[in-house]
C-alpha cells in the first residue's frame, strides 16, 4: 500500500470514531494515490466515507444538500450525514461525509434513465436564475475552450474540421443564454449509483451555477438516451458539450466520428 494511502486509512478510522459510527471492513473504494473515499459496513448497512481536504468543497456539498432538501429533490445520494471534523486532529482533513453505498448502475431500464433525466430537469427548473453577467462570462470562457478543442481535434483529425468549424459558427451566431441553474458539473457514470433501480448522483463538490442544457446533454450522452441527446444537440450549450466530448474521446484514443451521426 502506498504511504499516502496508509496515512489516510488511519485518518478514516479516526474520522469514523469521531463521528460515532460503528464500522468494520474499512477499505479504500478506489485505487489511486489520494485514497479519500472508503467503503465500510455499519449496523445500518453498507456505507461510504468521503474525506475532504478542501474546506470549500466540503462547505459546497453541505450547501447543495440544504438546497435540494429545501426543494424536495431526490436526486442526491449524499444525504446520510455530514459533519465537520477539527483540522488539527486529522492532518489537513477538514471534514467527512458518511453516505449510503450505491451499487453500480448495470441493470437500469430505459424508463429508469428517463426518470433520472426528468429529475435532473426538475432540479434545474427549481434552481434557475437569470444571471446575464455571469452567464456571459461563462459563455465566453467556454467559447474560448471550444475553439481550443476544435484546433486540437483538427490537428489530429483533419477530416473533422468542416463539421466542427460549422458547429463553432452556429454557436457564435446564437445569442448568449442568460439562464443558469444549479448543476452537478460532473455527470458521469463514475458519479452515478443505483438504489432499488433508481439512479442517483453523488460527489457534488464541483456543483455550481451553469447552463442546464449543457448538463442535460451530458446526462443523455452518458446514459445512452439517443433520442433526447439528439434534441439537445440543437441547443447552443448542447453543441458546446458535443465539442468537449469529441476532444475527450480523441484524447482517450477513441473515434469521435459517430457523434456526428446524431447531429
Q: How far apart are CA 81 and CA 49, in angstroms?
A: 10
| Helix 132-156 × helix 161-173 angle, to 10° | 170
CA distances from 229 to 1, 160, 221 (A): 42, 20, 6
93 pLDDT above the threshold of 90: no
Q: Is residue 177 within 8 Å of 132, Cβ to Cβ? A: no
Predicted confidence (pLDDT) per residue in 137-165, tens digit: 999 999 999 999 999 999 999 999 999 99
Least confident piece of the model among 5-9, 83-87, 214-218: 83-87
pTM of the model as a whole: 0.88
**What backbone phi and psi angles, to 5 degrees, belong to 192?**
-120, 145
Q: Could you tell me which of 218, 2, 262, 44 has the C-alpha nearest to residue 117?
A: 218
Set of cell numbers at residue 232: 439537445
Output the CA torsion sign for 244, 250, 255, 257.
positive
- For residue 88, the model assigns a pLDDT of 44
Output the CA torsion sign for 103, 109, 115, 121.
positive
Domain definitions of the chain by residue range: 3-100, 110-261
Q: How far apart are CA 238 and CA 171, in angstroms?
A: 10
- For residue 121, the model assigns a pLDDT of 96
- For residue 20, the model assigns a pLDDT of 84
- For residue 154, the model assigns a pLDDT of 94
- CATH number for the segment(s) 110-261: 3.90.1200
Residue that wins the pLDDT comparison between 125 and 82: 125
CATH homologous superfamily, domain 3-100: Phosphorylase Kinase; domain 1 (3.30.200.20)
Residues in the chain: 263
Residue that wins the pLDDT comparison between 84 and 215: 215
Amino acid at each position: 500500500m502506498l504511504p499516502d494511502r496508509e496515512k489516510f486509512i488511519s485518518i478514516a478510522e479516526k474520522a469514523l470514531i469521531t463521528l460515532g459510527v460503528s464500522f468494520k471492513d474499512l477499505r479504500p473504494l478506489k485505487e489511486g494515490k489520494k485514497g479519500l473515499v472508503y467503503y465500510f459496513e455499519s449496523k445500518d448497512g453498507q456505507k461510504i466515507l468521503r474525506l475532504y481536504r478542501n474546506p470549500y468543497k466540503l462547505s459546497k456539498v453541505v450547501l447543495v444538500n440544504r438546497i435540494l432538501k429545501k426543494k424536495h429533490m431526490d436526486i442526491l445520494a449524499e444525504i446520510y450525514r455530514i459533519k465537520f471534523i477539527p483540522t488539527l486532529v486529522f492532518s489537513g482533513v477538514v471534514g467527512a461525509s458518511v453516505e449510503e453505498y450505491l451499487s453500480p448502475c448495470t441493470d437500469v431500464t430505459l424508463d429508469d434513465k428517463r426518470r433520472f433525466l426528468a429529475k435532473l430537469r426538475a432540479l434545474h427548473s427549481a434552481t434557475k436564475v437569470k444571471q446575464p453577467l455571469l452567464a456571459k462570462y461563462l459563455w465566453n470562457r467556454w467559447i474560448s475552450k471550444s475553439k481550443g478543442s476544435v484546433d486540437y481535434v483538427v490537428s489530429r483529425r483533419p477530416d473533422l474540421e468542416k463539421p466542427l468549424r460549422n458547429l463553432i459558427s452556429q454557436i457564435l451566431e446564437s445569442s448568449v443564454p442568460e439562464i443558469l441553474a444549479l448543476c452537478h458539473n460532473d455527470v458521469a457514470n463514475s458519479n452515478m449509483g443505483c438504489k432499488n433501480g433508481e439512479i442517483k448522483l453523488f460527489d457534488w463538490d464541483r456543483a455550481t451555477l451553469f447552463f442546464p442544457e449543457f448538463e442535460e446533454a451530458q446526462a443523455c450522452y452518458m446514459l445512452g438516451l439517443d433520442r433526447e441527446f439528439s434534441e439537445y444537440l440543437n441547443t447552443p450549450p448542447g453543441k458546446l458539450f458535443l465539442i468537449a466530448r469529441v476532444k475527450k474521446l480523441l484524447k482517450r484514443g477513441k473515434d469521435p466520428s459517430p457523434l456526428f451521426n446524431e447531429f
